[in-house]
Structure 1
Amino acid sequence: MPRIWWAGPDSDAGTADALVSLGAVRVARMPIMTVAIDRAAYAPSPDGLHVAEATDLAEFVPAYARVSGISPDGVAAAIEREKAFSADGTVIRLAGRTADGALAGTTVAWLSHGLLTLYFVGTQPEHRRRGVATALTTAALRLARERGVRTAALTSTPAGESLYHRIGFRTAGAFELLSF
């Protein structure tokens, strides 16, 4: 099984280069993006999409696993990780559902220390390019604003970067992903 290392602003200086010198290969660069919540561009949900809190991890986790590179064999461990994740804040899982109840997209919103951090923003392939991820992201921003949170952050994939720029997120740093 390949080992993935994340090297970024919270790593010791030179970590990525040191890993490369030991044989690691750079596999991706993921921008760290932030936005002041009161400056974000909010978009309405697409017609027929309803965003609400999700509580059924047996449905929610396989949905984000499908679009996040988590293999079917890893879903059970991801569910256990989600059950255990409370950290030192509030975790809210949001699901976007179509009018017929199909789960179209997910996001995990973690509110801690005055910051909203978004994880697993993803749209099921059959629902892409319809505004689902935008609706989920802005719903999480609204929820955080209602709770007095002023800043949001996330780590983007290249596929999501332009979407987040349209909402108002700006690149504040980056993680390099390396593999052995």
Structure 2
Amino acid sequence: MTTPTSSVDLAVAAWHDAIEAFCRLQPHGYMKEGPHGTRSIMSGTPVPVLNAVISTTRKPEVAELSEFAASYRNEGLPWSIQLRGNPVDSAIAQIAADRGLTKSFILPFMTKHLDADDTDASPLDKISVRRVPAEDHETYNSALAAGYEAPDQVFRGLSAPNVLSAEGMTAYLVEEDGTAVATSFGVFLNGHVGIFNISTRPAYRRRGYARAATTAVLRDAYAQGARTAFLHCTPAGRGVYESLGFATSEEWQVYAAP
């Protein structure tokens, strides 16, 4: 089933609002936007998709995007150029190449309509799911990093106390016998909820914990009035999200450094 264009545009706009809110919580974060829909975002985290030049429109304004890319200051952090579609104008591919962004990949943007069924989650044995207060930021950061098999410092910005306590933002931990085994993060705004930071420790995968973490975000967001959920997915997580009713609305083209 094809999602109506207007609904997709609203979800994409909500994604941009969520990312802007996150960036503005970071010590050196910012967002700026040009008149033709090109944005620069800087989160200050070492994650290329969170430091980027992005076209918010389906048909990028090449000259504006080129100007933004040429003036982007990544402060030594990995960054990317992102477009809402594929294939991409060869001129944009060249702009990316000129900046050393020669690795390209597709980033699916998935959406889901929420209804009362999303409040009914089958409980799993041996686990609990809880919201994470700011004082537990170290526990959350460690679990998030372990789930992505990355150093702890990579995710400090994503798990900072001011992020965990920010209005509309909620982090979750799935715990088994007192061990934090999976994570999720929701950003609620304008009747939408963005799903982020879904991760599971390698030794605990394929037990339904990522699904439980995602469902916790959906349940709480529906109770707050959200009726659309959105996320970007990796190949590893796609099956989980599809089983929850998410469908790919767009495929974003991303250019990053190799």
- The equivalent of 2:122 in structure 1 is 44
CA drift at 1:179:
2.0
CA drift at 1:86:
6.9
- Larger strand fraction of residues: 1
- The equivalent of 1:58 in structure 2 is 138
Which one of 137, 162, 172 corresponds to residue 249 of structure 2? Answer: 172
Deviates more, 1:27-36 or 1:101-110: 27-36
CA drift at 1:175:
2.8
Q: Answer yes or no: is the 8 Å Cα contact 2:218–2:229 preserved in 1.
A: yes
Post-superposition Cα deviations, 1:7-54, rounded to whole Å, max 9, x if no partner, equal 0329xx748524344242234322110000118665413211111101
Structure ID, larger Rg = 2
- The equivalent of 2:152 in structure 1 is 72
Q: Secondary structure at the match of 2:241?
A: helix
Q: Answer yes or no: is the 8 Å Cα contact 2:147–2:182 preserved in 1.
A: no
Post-superposition Cα deviations, 1:65-111, rounded to whole Å, max 9, x if no partner, equal 2233643343444444x624777x5111111011x111010001110
Q: Which amino acid aligns with 1:60?
A: Y
Matched, 1:126 2:209: no
Residues matched between the structures, number? 175
Change (3 A) 1:117 1:40: farther
CA drift at 1:132:
0.3
- The equivalent of 1:111 in structure 2 is 188
* TM value normalised by structure 1: 0.83
Unaligned runs of 5+ in 1: none
For 2:97 and 2:189, locate their aligned partners in 1 and report how far apart those are by CA, in whole Å: 36
Change (3 A) 1:72 1:27: farther
Higher RCO, 1 vs 2 (CA within 8 Å, ≥6 residues apart): 1
Matched, 1:17 2:97: no
Change (3 A) 1:126 1:6: farther
